[in-house]
């Protein structure tokens, strides 16, 4: 994936902002994630080139913290709650249903770019467990069948 001129400009501006700070790797990566939505390997190479922080160190950070994403989010961002109430209500079955019907794994995006699956902590609707959200819209009392139907509709 190429770095577009807009992305490059954003990365340069972020790096410049932290030029005088040592230990700025995490804030730089966080700001790239916030502004561009993900931190691709190409972005990491650019940051490394501009800051002289080894790319291996930047990769280490991005792969260690779950807040970072190495690829753009798909058209439909499906977040499956795995808080205590949802876990007890069968969140694992919901995850399996979404993984098999979208052909992708939690934490990844389907090859066609349509679906991104993520496992998340409590999203605050425990009485509706198990709960998921799609692009911010909440769906409660999920079942494997409802999950498969939802993917077909999307
Ligand atoms: S545990 Fe899932 S919404 Fe609270």
- 97 and 57 within one domain: no
C-alpha neighbours within 13 Å on the C-beta side of residue 74: 23
Q: What share of the chain is helix, strand, coil (3-state, %, to 5)?
A: 50, 15, 40
Atom of ligand 1 nearest to the CA of 129: 2
Q: State percent of the chain over pLDDT 70.
A: 99
Within this chain, do residues 93 and 44 fall inside the same structural domain, yes or no? Answer: no
The reply to whether 40 and 86 lie within a common domain is no
Where residue 19 falls among pLDDT bands split at 50, 70, 90? Answer: confident
Domain shared by 138 and 82, yes or no? yes
- CB of 138 closer than 6 angstroms to any ligand 1 atom: no
69 domain residue, yes or no: no
Does residue 134 lie in a domain region? Answer: yes
Domains held by the chain: number: 2
Assess whether pLDDT exceeds 80 at residue 1. no
**Model-wide pTM > 0.85:** no
Cα gap 128→138, rounded to integer Å: 10
**86 and 148 share a domain?**
yes
Q: Is 28 exposed, middle or buried (0-12, 13-18, 19+ CB in 10 A)?
A: buried
**97 within some domain:** yes
First-to-last C-alpha distance (Å) of the chain = 26
Q: Is 70 inside any structural domain?
A: no
Give, in order, the Cα–Cα distances in Å from 53 to each of 15, 50, 68, 70, 133. Answer: 11, 8, 18, 18, 37
In a domain? residue 124: yes
- 118 CA → ligand 1 middle, Å: 14
17 lies in a domain?
Answer: yes
Task: Say if ligand 1 is within 6 A of residue 141 CB.
Answer: no
For residues 39 and 105, membership in a common domain is answered with no
- State in Å: Cα 108 to ligand 1 middle: 21
- Domain range enclosing 10: 5-64
Distance 90 CA to ligand 1 centre (A): 11
Give me the pLDDT at residue 10, please.
Answer: 96
Residue whose tokens read 């502004």: 35
**What pLDDT does residue 37 have?**
86
The reply to whether 81 and 135 lie within a common domain is yes
Could you tell me if 131 and 81 are in contact, meaning their C-beta atoms sit under 8 angstroms apart? yes
CATH of the domain at 45: 1.10.10
Distances (CA, A) of 129 to 61, 63, 88: 33, 30, 9
Residue 83 Cβ < 6 Å to ligand 1: yes
Q: Under DSSP, is residue 80 helix (H, G, I), strand (E, B) or coil?
A: strand
Residue 117 tokens read as: 């699956």
Per-residue pLDDT at 104 exceeds 90: yes
């Amino acid at each position: 994936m190429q770095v577009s001129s807009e992305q490059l400009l954003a990365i340069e501006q972020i790096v410049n902002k932290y030029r005088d700070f040592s230990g700025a790797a995490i804030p730089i990566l966080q700001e790239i994630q916030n502004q561009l939505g993900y931190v691709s390997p190409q972005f990491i190479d650019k940051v490394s080139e501009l800051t002289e922080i080894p790319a291996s160190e930047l990769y280490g950070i991005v792969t260690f913290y779950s807040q970072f994403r190495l690829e753009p989010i798909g058209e439909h961002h499906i977040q499956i709650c795995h808080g205590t109430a949802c876990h007890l209500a069968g969140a694992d079955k919901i995850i399996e249903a979404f993984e098999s019907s979208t052909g992708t794994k939690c934490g990844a995006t389907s090859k066609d770019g349509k679906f991104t699956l993520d496992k998340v902590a409590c999203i605050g609707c425990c009485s509706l467990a198990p709960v998921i959200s799609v692009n911010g819209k909440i769906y409660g009392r999920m079942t494997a069948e409802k999950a498969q139907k939802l993917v077909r509709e999307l």
